[in-house]
Amino acid sequence: MFIAFIATPFLGKKLATDEEFRKLVPSWYFDSYRMKVPERDPNTRQSLHNQLIAMQKDLHERAIRGEFTKENRDKMVFKDDLKDDPYGWSKIHPGVDEDDEDDEDEDEN
pLDDT range class, residue 55, cuts 50, 70, 90: very high
pLDDT tens digit string along 4-36? Answer: 999 999 988 988 888 888 888 887 777 666 677
Q: How many Å apart are CA 87 and CA 32, to the nearest integer?
A: 47
0.75 exceeded by the pTM?
A: no
Of 7 and 81, more confident: 7
Mean pLDDT of 75-94: 65
pLDDT for the residue 29: 74
Q: How many Å apart are CA 42 and CA 24, to the nearest integer?
A: 35
